Structure 1
């Protein structure tokens, strides 16, 4: 009897030991892949013990010549920082220009040959989810997103995570950006206005008069007929932002449309409460008629739609006005001022509508997403790269490499980041606040650097923002940032904005098959109307075709989405 009890106890001890070994094995396999020991929590900034590689798809703008000598899109201050801080080696699976990037992404999806990670838009994200090609990042986000990124994403009111959640799973890392990105100011050569004795154009009629003077009265004084009144979109940009790409449209006609209460590309609530697509409304036809007249009179760049880079005419000093977001100093204006220190570009919340109100369209705060290839060994690496950018962005100098060269770059900013920055800089310049008053605001990632350096580049009088009262060469990178705040964002701080939002910023089911074609018809028809190769009546045919080729069904789906 004792022998039986002995063997029974021995069996229990052996079974318990094996069970404990299996549990320990499972625990080890589930640990943070960059941790030193199984007991360490996931570290959003943890350095890998051994170098890992991540092959990414990256947009590379060939017109961005900011890289310092010896640097390349794959070897620069940003990629070196990622290697030094995280021990991640970045490789390029593919690169593409801004005008070709979406096509490269589409080809990668169609061939199921994805890079380890890449930035995509909402259309591509849905395609990737439905094709089951990307990794579930729920645990990656929960365990590795830095507190600062989570704070910013939470500030979107749930929109950011909602846009990447499918069947309860977080399938991408969303951005969340400043609301100022969605407003397209009117940028004007103030020195040209002063030369001709003109005021900034408050109305659309004023805009035509200023553009006419810029074209006909030799504002640059070179005696040549070589000036452009108002720039237009190049091959990389659009006539106007739309509900799927609601931010950062360069050189489009957004301000002209909105001054006429036309919001093409946006989904709106009509007067009867029914949902309508803004591109099909009479207000849009009226705006196209206005633009058609401007173009026929030679007041708009004659090369709209075919020019490869409208920024070149800004840099060369040939253009007098264009529409763009607050951050245009990060675009062509830095080069424009470097080439001509007297180029006094100023920004205005203009033109106004018939009631004297500023009525721009507004964006969603979430427009881009980082996705990770399914089965990539280190999905958390993409999240760490983004954490690293937000935490260290103030260390980078955009004058020796624009921020677009940062791998997998997403914009992270509280919705009011630029407005807060503008007010803070004004207070420091006025002496009512000290730089130290703004140090403990980590979500406003560049604010400490902004207030610390403002006196280095801004000359007295501190309340005059004309270019002659700046010293860009003292710190060109810092000037780019400060000019974006004190000139680019200032109109948004000082103007009452009666903005209009789209009721949705995402796709419906039918859009997946029909939207590319519908958008192509829209873009081609509107551009032809403006350039005079189609009559204004082509708008009515467009509306009919749009409804018949899926638009009517899509409108019903949008209504269902909003109702839910």
Structure 2
């Protein structure tokens, strides 16, 4: 027995030695063993440790990546070897090794599989629901002790661009387990997009009231606005969903001070659902009239925003509610197809003289986090800091932006390679719009504005100086209509300056009752609204909808939304 035990011991030792040898070979780079983020003997935090201090020797962290699906690389580069991974290694002493990278719906599936198999990488990009689940289960590192020390001033500024509201959602039971992938709500505001050349053809003015919008819709449907001799244009473009980047109903509802999907916080501090506000019934009644008058495409109920975009690009739609990005989307396609097309954006209008306020919303979709057993959790914050230092730092240079942002030679957006890339979405386009137009108006010197804004300015100025020829310079037109003197961000600036945003008060995870009954309530709302709009149900059905919505869970959801808001932000 003793002899047999000795043989087993020798065998076990041999296997262990073999595993150590294989592991050492697998972790060896250029003959140098690399410690992992969990190796307690590997690296020592720098004596003067801080936001961008380098680990010596370097540490290695595994990661996951949510791809866009259209990534391109320079020759010799790939996901694990590019300008950003090299910067992490050279400047921070962190070798990032992506275990996996997936685009589209496959990303959520891969995250779910990784959680189920307990095979999570060291640093993660987590969908919101998984972030909170893992945090409560003790699977994520508590970043609370590290954030103040390691987060750079630029990162803190980025996360506070909205007053810190999105950052507050990252706390779980008072502890910070991740950094939110912030999004801007200003960019979700509706505005009215109109073919100005059609207005000129029909001797019509820019709308100032909802009645004006309806009169324009009638003319665009019935009076041959494109002068081709055929009745082939729609009055106004809508698509099947209540809110959308193109063909949205939300801007129309706002004319009646109601909202299809937003949660509105009243002067009394209570939050209510925008779709049950009194003005919604009148909004639906007016849409019903417009549909009966053939101003709305009879097939709108089966068209998504992409299909409506195709109609816009084909010159079938010249009036619709949409967001600020249209110069890069269907409006761009429209001027490529027809360089004579003239698009303008104007603020949404009211039905009753009271200011119409566009709804804005932000969805907390992703959080950057660290697995609980990683020895250097602050490394995540350093990685995110580096993006801020290269891209968003007020002292960054054009050379830096060309190297780590959009490459002017290849057109590749290197920033997409970064882990934890964050922009101060509320401030950045607003700031660039002001800086660019101040320079154009002679109020500011070009040398004093952000280098990234300089790039946009140069494109816009070149477009203006060369006669604003859309056909010859469609990219110049894109930037001009996006950030120039007659741009979508001019409209957003107008909204901000006049305090016209109606910011949706709820943007957290689905509440308990939302998860259970939200889909049923959404279906009830959509079916009721479509039936009323198309005339297959009376307008009075709206009152029945409100009663049923409340009984079937709406009242409970409203209570939960208020509880979430008060516990997150205070009363």
TM range (shorter): 0.7 to 0.9
Residue 147, structure 1, aligned to residue 153, structure 2: yes
**Alignment CA distance shift 1:360-1:315 (3 Å):** same
Match of 2:546 in 1: 543
**Alignment CA distance shift 1:272-1:140 (3 Å):** closer
Does the CA contact (< 8 Å) of 2:459 and 2:479 recur in 1?
A: no
Task: After TM superposition, give the deviation of residue 192 of structure 1 in Å.
Answer: 1.7
Task: After TM superposition, give the deviation of residue 260 of structure 1 in Å.
Answer: 0.6
Match of 2:210 in 1: 204
Match of 1:329 in 2: 327
| Structure-2 separation of matches of 1:165 and 1:374 | 16
**Alignment CA distance shift 1:71-1:331 (3 Å):** farther
Does the CA contact (< 8 Å) of 1:58 and 1:408 recur in 2?
A: no
Corresponding residue to 1:526 among 501, 510, 529: 529
Does the CA contact (< 8 Å) of 1:155 and 1:414 recur in 2?
A: yes
> What are the Cα deviations for residues 517-549 of structure 1, in whole angstroms up to 9, with x where unaligned?
333332343234334444433323322222222
**Alignment CA distance shift 1:118-1:517 (3 Å):** farther
Deviates more, 1:257-266 or 1:293-302: 293-302
**Alignment CA distance shift 1:424-1:175 (3 Å):** same
Task: After TM superposition, give the deviation of residue 120 of structure 1 in Å.
Answer: 3.4
Question: How many residues are treated as equivalent by the alignment?
Answer: 502
Does the CA contact (< 8 Å) of 1:115 and 1:373 recur in 2?
A: no
Structure 2 counterparts to residues 42-53 of structure 1, below 5 A: 42-44=50-52
SS at match of 2:300: coil
Residue 120, structure 1, aligned to residue 127, structure 2: yes
| Structure-1 separation of matches of 2:330 and 2:86 | 31
> What are the Cα deviations for residues 228-266 of structure 1, in whole angstroms up to 9, with x where unaligned?
3322236xxx4137xxxxxxx443112111111112333
| Structure-1 separation of matches of 2:391 and 2:268 | 50
Does the CA contact (< 8 Å) of 1:172 and 1:369 recur in 2?
A: no
Task: After TM superposition, give the deviation of residue 349 of structure 1 in Å.
Answer: 0.5
Structure 2 counterparts to residues 460-499 of structure 1, below 5 A: 469=468, 476=475, 480-486=478-484, 487-494=487-494, 496-499=498-501
Residue 423, structure 1, aligned to residue 434, structure 2: yes
Corresponding residue to 1:267 among 258, 263, 266: 263
Residue 233, structure 1, aligned to residue 230, structure 2: no
Residue 280, structure 1, aligned to residue 289, structure 2: no
Residue 392, structure 1, aligned to residue 391, structure 2: yes
**Alignment CA distance shift 1:340-1:472 (3 Å):** closer
| Structure-2 separation of matches of 1:404 and 1:318 | 37
| Structure-2 separation of matches of 1:141 and 1:326 | 34
Unaligned 5+ runs, structure 1: 1-27, 242-248, 440-444, 461-467
Unaligned 5+ runs, structure 2: 1-35, 90-95, 393-400
| Structure-2 separation of matches of 1:198 and 1:112 | 63
Corresponding residue to 2:503 among 501, 504, 519: 501
**Alignment CA distance shift 1:79-1:537 (3 Å):** farther
Does the CA contact (< 8 Å) of 2:439 and 2:445 recur in 1?
A: yes
Match of 2:285 in 1: 289
Match of 2:445 in 1: 434
| Structure-2 separation of matches of 1:225 and 1:294 | 17
Match of 1:300 in 2: 296
Task: After TM superposition, give the deviation of residue 166 of structure 1 in Å.
Answer: 0.7
Corresponding residue to 1:251 among 243, 247, 259: 247
> What are the Cα deviations for residues 404-463 of structure 1, in whole angstroms up to 9, with x where unaligned?
966667652263433332232222112232101224xxxxx7334334544223337xxx
Does the CA contact (< 8 Å) of 2:142 and 2:175 recur in 1?
A: yes
**Alignment CA distance shift 1:319-1:80 (3 Å):** farther
**Alignment CA distance shift 1:254-1:409 (3 Å):** farther
Task: After TM superposition, give the deviation of residue 347 of structure 1 in Å.
Answer: 0.9
Deviates more, 1:505-514 or 1:46-55: 46-55
> What are the Cα deviations for residues 37-70 of structure 1, in whole angstroms up to 9, with x where unaligned?
743625549699588653323455xxxx8x78x8
| Structure-2 separation of matches of 1:104 and 1:29 | 26
Match of 1:459 in 2: 465
Does the CA contact (< 8 Å) of 1:511 and 1:554 recur in 2?
A: yes
Match of 1:511 in 2: 514
**Alignment CA distance shift 1:479-1:79 (3 Å):** farther
Match of 1:412 in 2: 423
Does the CA contact (< 8 Å) of 1:326 and 1:485 recur in 2?
A: no
**Alignment CA distance shift 1:369-1:427 (3 Å):** same
Match of 1:370 in 2: 367
Does the CA contact (< 8 Å) of 1:57 and 1:119 recur in 2?
A: no
Deviates more, 1:386-395 or 1:199-208: 386-395
Match of 2:455 in 1: 449
Match of 1:187 in 2: 193
SS at match of 2:258: coil
Does the CA contact (< 8 Å) of 2:250 and 2:260 recur in 1?
A: no
Relative to the length of structure 1, the TM-score reads 0.73
**Alignment CA distance shift 1:240-1:402 (3 Å):** farther
| Structure-2 separation of matches of 1:114 and 1:525 | 45
Does the CA contact (< 8 Å) of 1:153 and 1:175 recur in 2?
A: no
Task: After TM superposition, give the deviation of residue 185 of structure 1 in Å.
Answer: 1.0
Residue 554, structure 1, aligned to residue 557, structure 2: yes
Does the CA contact (< 8 Å) of 1:141 and 1:173 recur in 2?
A: no
Relative to the length of structure 2, the TM-score reads 0.72
Does the CA contact (< 8 Å) of 2:125 and 2:368 recur in 1?
A: yes
**Alignment CA distance shift 1:334-1:171 (3 Å):** farther
Task: After TM superposition, give the deviation of residue 389 of structure 1 in Å.
Answer: 4.8
Residue 39, structure 1, aligned to residue 47, structure 2: yes
| Structure-2 separation of matches of 1:180 and 1:418 | 9
